[in-house]
Amino acid sequence: MRSDLGWLDALPATAKRALLAEAQAELDKDKLADYRPYPKQKEFHTLGKTMRERLLRAGNQNGKTYCCGSEVAYHLTGEYPDWWEGRRWSRPVIVWASGETGEATRDNPQRALLGFVGAEGTGSIPHRCLGLNHGNYGMASGVANLYDYIRVRHISGGWSLLKFKYYAQGQRKWQGPPVDLVWFDEEPPEDIYDEGLARTIATGGCAAMTFTPLKGMSNVVRRFLMDATDDRADINMTIHDAEHISAEERERIIRSFPAHERDARAKGIPTLGSGRIFPVDEDTIKVPAFAIPEHWPILGALDFGWDHPTAAVKIAWDRDSDCVYFVSAYRKREQTPLIHSGALKPWGAEMPWAWPHDGHQHDKGSGVQLAEQFRTHGLNMLHEHAQYPEQSDDTRVSRTSVEAGLADMLDRMQTERLKVFDHLLEWFEEFRLYHRKDGKVVKEGDDLMAASRYAIMMLRYAQVSRKQTVVHRPPPNWRV
């Protein structure tokens, strides 16, 4: 038998095409072996080992459905690749895969897992593992070509169960037996998400979501972006992380989106529309970290909190160009002034600190003003709360006006006189989501934005430090 492929060239063109088509058809029946995740996709997989709830928040056509479909196939079959660092099941599992409607479920998660209708076995689950024979599947009623369930052969010798659901069925249809994994492809209503998550309690299972956040700051999105826990992970994948899209094509795609949806569809940032307070491309205010020149004045600013986080920022002021640089950010909830002060004093022993009007409030236990407690613990608190200097020619605007502070920040952003070190991930998280509703600023998840506003209001008190030796560089493992 010949070991080379010279014989292939000798075949007639029609025979060659038929042979290649047959070979390709066989390869299509085991696509899972070819899956190689991008870094953000791999991060999503890896976090499944420790996180009960995961969200892959990504732009359109960035590979989010393909990513989770591949993971679901690994769990159903037990055929994990060598590079896999995520959760593993050594037994057959029960998985629910879902979408908004029956048609959407058929055309997205079902297609990703099984292949197109009539070509079952060309999706992420290998054809050889699908229970297409012997009655190991059932079709849903009311939606053409939608499977109700299908069994998948597990490497242990048993059968996993894959069941398809959709949100339009209503919450009652989501009540049922324990499930190991629930996959929500596209954002679910809050009651559906809660019901699906509840199905995983008895099994110690988990939930995974993959969607583009076009519904804005819904309660489901807010959980992951504003109410983070040790059991909940948000992975943001943008069009720039999708390696299958060329740089030229990315720019063309971004330009094709409506302006008010561009961030959501390209970067996975929740749509805020005209309500966004800072309608500025974040790339225009990002700068890499650098050593702060010793002659630049510095200032810290605090926003007090307990149930919501206490937040702090540090700014450095290049007076020659009148540009303010945000160089450090801190955000932590349910900690005492002693703990916060201990974390912030290394920013500068003599650095002055701006603080809001509520710093005058007395602690119910000690009776000491909140700002005074921070002063006692070593922070150089300014003698007055954050406010603009008195203007005798204009008494119409309050000296503590929120709108005036926001206008100053926006003006500086638009004139390139406000920059932010690009490793301050929590600062940019709030910046993206800071918005109005019915014309009013939404006072949730705005702690660092509030501290930033106080810093700009009190910029006149920034001072050159005699001991300014700290180099503000990102930690070794920082990510943008």
**pLDDT tens, residue by residue, 207-216:** 999 999 887 7
Reported as a single tens digit per residue, the pLDDT across 76-128 is 999 999 999 999 999 999 999 999 999 999 999 999 999 999 999 999 999 99
* Residue predicted with more confidence, 128 or 467: 128
| pLDDT at res. 364 | 61
pTM: 0.64
Q: Residue 36 pLDDT more than 90?
A: yes
Reported as a single tens digit per residue, the pLDDT across 387-403 is 988 764 444 456 778 88
Q: Residue 39 pLDDT more than 90?
A: yes
Q: Residue 283 pLDDT more than 80?
A: yes
| pLDDT at res. 480 | 30
Asked if the 27-271 domain carries CATH number 1.10.3720.10, the reply is no
Structure tokens at 435: 């918005």
Task: Name the active-site residue from 79, 186, 195, 429.
Answer: 186
CB atoms within 10 A of CB 239: 21
Over residues 309-326, mean pLDDT: 96
User: Any idea which residue has 């149930």 for tokens?
Assistant: 307
CATH 3.40.50.300 in the chain: give the residue spans. 27-271
Q: Checking DSSP bridges between strand 298-303 and strand 310-318, what pairing results, if any?
A: antiparallel
| pLDDT at res. 31 | 81
* Residue predicted with more confidence, 227 or 283: 283
| pLDDT at res. 394 | 46
Listed in sequence order, the residues at least 6 apart from 366 whose beta carbon sits closer than 8 Å to its beta carbon are 373
User: Any idea which residue has 């009007």 for tokens?
Assistant: 357
Q: Where are the beta strands (DSSP E) in 59-214?
A: 94-99, 137-139, 147-153, 159-166, 181-185, 206-211
Q: Residue 266 pLDDT more than 80?
A: yes
Reported as a single tens digit per residue, the pLDDT across 417-463 is 999 999 999 999 889 888 887 778 888 889 999 999 999 999 999 99
Q: Residue 274 pLDDT more than 80?
A: no
Q: Which CATH class is domain 283-461?
A: alpha beta
CATH 3.30.420.280 in the chain: give the residue spans. 283-461
Three-state DSSP state, 247: helix
**Portion of the chain with pLDDT greater than 70, in percent:** 87
Rounded-to-integer distance, Cα 39 and Cα 45, Å:
10
Q: Where are the alpha helices (DSSP H) in 355-424?
A: 370-376, 402-414
What strand order describes the sheet that includes 352-354?
Answer: 286-287, 418-421, 323-332, 310-318, 298-303, 352-354, 380-381
| pLDDT at res. 17 | 65
Q: How confident is the model at residue 225 (pLDDT cuts 50, 70, 90)?
A: confident
What strand order describes the sheet that includes 232-237?
Answer: 137-139, 147-153, 159-166, 94-99, 181-185, 206-211, 53-58, 232-237
Q: How confident is the model at residue 269 (pLDDT cuts 50, 70, 90)?
A: confident
Over residues 219-234, mean pLDDT: 86
Over residues 251-277, mean pLDDT: 78
Reported as a single tens digit per residue, the pLDDT across 60-88 is 889 999 999 999 999 999 999 999 999 99
Over residues 372-399, mean pLDDT: 79
Q: What is the mean pLDDT of the chain?
A: 87
Concerning whether 120 is annotated as a catalytic residue, the answer is no
